[in-house]
């Protein structure tokens, strides 16, 4: 059963007075449903959490570290020792407890660059989420307007089938009256079958788009739920210059921003790896209680305390090539990020140019298709009147019917293609991201 979508829109507007079972779903609500349902976007959220955790780890590399230690030992078989006049008694049960603090003072730039890389990585993860939201928005809008386009074409073809059936009935009557030939009737039947096949294809495409939209949004779309018609706003048919589109894309595209951040993060990791070959300086302090205190001589089986403060310098002069290997790996990864950024920038330029050209072409097609549809409709009216007066052939009316069907389908496609091209250009310039 076909649904008149124009009538459906009017009914939905009066829904507050007369509740209706049908509903027109807006593209904005559809996009919200798709974003809320997307498992890909949820995984991007986890990437952000992981990046934030890495940033916390890197931040900890420059902060003081506190530790508490406690130890209890029991020894068997020890004997007293005598060193000259000093007797060192055996203490079988020994206990120690301490608290200490260490503060890195100089890491050769390792901790600083690790912290920088982690911060850039977290921001890159956030930009990747924004980019994925834009991709999901474009995918949803493309499916939504393709669904609307297929339904509009289905309605136009249904009207064409109705006209063809009326013409077929008239042809049969005229054939019985000797005013039409068998070839005229066969030609009408063939044209009717062809139009019916086009209608079946449009219905199938609409159903496929509805299924795809159900997958994207995570909900089943009922037969009474339909998208908006591809109605164009007159003030929204302007196209900004290509140069401005390219400028916007390089500054607004979240995926490019994420790749730039990743490239900078990779460069910071290279410096962090190189810093492993530089001296490391840390300040340490510790307070300790022991029974006996190992720093007392001779040892005494009593609780004694001590405190120490000092600086520790470490410098690895040879590590078997470990630092060189880590630096090489980090450098290769940084180069890879830079190459990915370059490739992405080239791809964005192509996307913008393609979307811009497609929109311009769709706008041009709309003007031409509207003019052609008006002419085809008038041509059909004239041919029908002439046929009623016996002044033309059935083939002329049949040809006029086919032209109207074709031009109407082209006009509907042009209207929907403009909305699709606008969404594609907005995505290419970074305008679909929140």
Looking at the domain assignment, is residue 237 inside a domain? yes
Q: What confidence score (pLDDT) does residue 12 get?
A: 40
CB neighbour list of residue 39: distance below 8 Å, 6 or more residues apart: none
Looking at the domain assignment, is residue 363 inside a domain? yes
Q: What confidence score (pLDDT) does residue 164 get?
A: 83
Looking at the domain assignment, is residue 80 inside a domain? no
| pLDDT digit string, tens, across residues 306-365 | 999 999 999 998 988 999 999 999 999 999 999 999 999 999 999 999 999 999 999 999
Q: What confidence score (pLDDT) does residue 345 get?
A: 95
The CATH number that applies at residue 150 is 1.20.1600.10
Selection from 412, 381, 382, 380 nearest residue 399 by Cα: 380
**How many domains would you assign to the chain?**
1
pTM of this structure: 0.82
The neighbouring-strand residues paired with 313 are: 281
Looking at the domain assignment, is residue 48 inside a domain? yes
Q: What confidence score (pLDDT) does residue 405 get?
A: 86
Domain span at residue 405 reads 25-62+111-270+338-428
Q: What confidence score (pLDDT) does residue 213 get?
A: 95
Q: What confidence score (pLDDT) does residue 361 get?
A: 93
Spell out, as residue ranges, where the chain has pLDDT lower than 70: 1-22, 83-84, 86, 234-235, 394, 434
Looking at the domain assignment, is residue 148 inside a domain? yes
- Under a CB-based contact definition with an 8 Å cutoff, are residues 406 and 160 in contact? no
Positive/negative CA dihedral, 23, 26, 27, 32? negative
Looking at the domain assignment, is residue 153 inside a domain? yes
Looking at the domain assignment, is residue 137 inside a domain? yes
Rg of the Cα trace of the chain?
39
Q: What confidence score (pLDDT) does residue 180 get?
A: 77
Looking at the domain assignment, is residue 1 inside a domain? no
């Amino acid at each position: 059963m076909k649904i008149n979508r124009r009538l459906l829109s009017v009914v939905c507007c009066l829904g507050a007075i007369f509740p209706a079972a049908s509903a027109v779903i807006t593209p904005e609500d559809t996009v919200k449903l798709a974003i809320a349902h997307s498992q890909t976007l949820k995984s991007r959220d986890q990437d952000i959490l992981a990046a934030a955790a890495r940033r916390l780890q890197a931040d900890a590399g420059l902060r003081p570290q506190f530790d508490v230690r406690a130890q209890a030992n029991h020894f068997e078989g020890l004997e007293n020792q005598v060193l000259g006049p000093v007797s060192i008694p055996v203490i079988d049960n020994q206990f120690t407890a301490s608290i200490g603090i260490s503060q890195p003072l100089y890491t050769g730039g390792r901790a600083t660059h690790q912290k920088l890389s982690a911060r850039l990585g977290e921001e890159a993860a956030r930009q990747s989420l924004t980019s994925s939201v834009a991709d999901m928005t474009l995918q949803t809008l493309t499916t939504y307007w393709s669904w609307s386009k297929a339904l509009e074409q289905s309605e136009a073809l249904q009207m064409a089938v109705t006209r063809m059936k009326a013409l077929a009935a008239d042809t049969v009557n005229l054939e019985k009256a000797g005013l039409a030939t068998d070839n005229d009737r066969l030609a009408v039947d063939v044209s009717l079958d062809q139009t019916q096949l086009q209608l079946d294809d449009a219905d199938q495409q609409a159903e496929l788009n509805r299924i795809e939209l159900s997958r994207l949004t995570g909900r089943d779309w009922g037969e009474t739920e339909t998208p908006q018609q591809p109605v164009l706003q007159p003030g929204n048919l302007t196209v900004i210059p290509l140069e401005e589109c390219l400028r916007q894309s390089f500054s607004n595209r979240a995926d490019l921003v994420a790749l730039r951040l990743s490239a900078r993060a990779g460069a910071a990791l290279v410096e962090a790896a190189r810093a492993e070959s530089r001296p490391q300086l840390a300040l340490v302090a510790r307070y300790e209680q022991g029974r006996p205190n190992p720093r007392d001589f001779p040892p005494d089986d009593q609780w004694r305390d001590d405190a120490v403060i000092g600086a520790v310098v470490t410098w690895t002069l040879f590590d078997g090539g470990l630092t060189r290997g880590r630096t090489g790996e980090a450098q290769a990864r940084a180069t890879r990020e830079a190459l990915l950024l370059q490739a992405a920038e080239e791809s964005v330029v192509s996307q913008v140019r393609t979307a811009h050209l497609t929109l311009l072409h769709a706008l041009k097609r709309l003007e031409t298709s509207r003019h052609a549809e008006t002419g085809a409709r008038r041509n059909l009216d004239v041919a029908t009147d002439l046929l009623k007066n016996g002044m033309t052939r059935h083939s002329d009316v049949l040809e006029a019917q086919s032209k109207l069907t074709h031009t109407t389908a082209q006009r509907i496609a042009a209207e929907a293609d403009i909305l699709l091209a606008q969404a594609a250009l907005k995505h290419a310039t970074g305008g679909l991201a929140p």
